[in-house]
Amino acid sequence: MEFTVQEIAALVGGRLVSNSGLETKVHGVASLSEAEPGEITFFGNAKYITQLKTTRATAVLVPADFAETISALAICVENPSLAFAQLLQKFAPEPIRFLPGVHPTAVLGKNVVLGENVSIQPYVVIEEGVQIGANTLIGAHGYIGHETHIGQDCQFAPRVTVGARCQVGNRVILHSGVVLGSDGFGFEFAEGKHVKIPQTGIVQVDDDVEIGANTTIDRARFGRTWIQQGTKIDNLVQIAHNVVVGKHCILVSQAGVSGSTKLGNYVTLAGQVGIVGHIEIGDQAIIAAKSGVSKSVPPKEIFFGYPATQIQEQKEQLACIARLPKLYARVKKLEQVSDSQQKSSFPES
């Protein structure tokens, strides 16, 4: 696939900084540091300005207010990263497509209902009473538990497990190793041993959710563990029983949310965030990476640290900690002066 710079600007709704080179051909995409002549890249973060000035790319997508002088042809757009993603689809190989139908090695239970153009790949097991909507793909070695309902246009990668009675909406993407509906971690200590508490609820995943590889979402003790519309969950995330994750949240790798906690809409959990159970994270709150959250977080706040507090407070505490060595040295010097003064006030007889 090949486009002129002018055609690319039109494709992404961009504005060319210069009127020269409009017919220059572009045949591929690459990063700032790896791009070669004939390729296009993007600049969306100021820390990469040095790479931008030395890139060999023919063209670069830059922010709308970009004012630097560079050797590449600059195309101004509102969001360079998003515009670049649009171009990736133009230059990428054709997507792999799976034919509709049920592979001969798949095992289907009684009363399974499949919509039009469903694709069931090799060695899939679908238990009794399952319903799967039109155009959905179930990847190889997948397991769909009894009476589960799955919507239309979903994509389940190989080795996805969905437990009994779970509810999955439309256009849901589950990557390899995802487990929906494993038992919640519920035990009571009685008579010197841990007694298992039955986990009788379900997992509900709403429309347009994407869940990364090897992420696990536990079924509720009763009721539902609920992932609401548009939320995107990274690889290796743990969601415990009866958690509610609101609409359009972002949960980054290795985050963990303990039981019965509620996340509002548009919440962001950065990498390795841990949240205790039975608290609430308000709408549009952001929890910075490696934070441990032990109490509820108000809407629109940014929390950081362990235990997590409002980020400005945490920065002030970190600044104080960073100054401790100098403070220690000052105190030590003052102690030496004090000792010297005391000795001079009480000379030895």
Instruction: Give the list of residues 6+ apart from residue 84 with CB closer than 8 angstroms, or none.
Output: 29, 40, 41, 42, 44, 61
Residue carrying structure tokens 């210069």: 18
Residue carrying structure tokens 């153009």: 117
Contact of 168 with 205, CB cutoff 8 Å: yes
Distance CA 124, CA 105 (A): 7
Distance CA 287, CA 301 (A): 8
Distance from the Cα of residue 139 to its chain's centroid: 22
Three-state secondary structure of 177-215 = CCEEEECCCCEEEECCEEEECCCCCEEEECCCCEECCCC
**Helix, strand, or coil here: 107?**
strand
**Helix, strand, or coil here: 175?**
coil
Distances (CA, A) of 21 to 16, 29, 38, 40, 69: 10, 18, 12, 14, 15
Tokens of 340: 């010297």
Residue carrying structure tokens 């042809």: 73
Distance CA 26, CA 4 (A): 6
Tokens of 188: 């009571």
194 catalytic residue (yes or no): no
Q: Of 141, 175, 241, 278, which is the active-site residue?
A: 241
What is the CB neighbour count within 10 angstroms for residue 97?
A: 8
Residue carrying structure tokens 């490696």: 290
Closest among 205, 198, 241, 238 to 220, alpha carbons compared: 241
Are β-strands 187-190 and 193-196 bridged in parallel, bridged antiparallel, or unpaired? Answer: antiparallel
What is the CB neighbour count within 10 angstroms for residue 308?
A: 23
| Catalytic machinery residues | 241
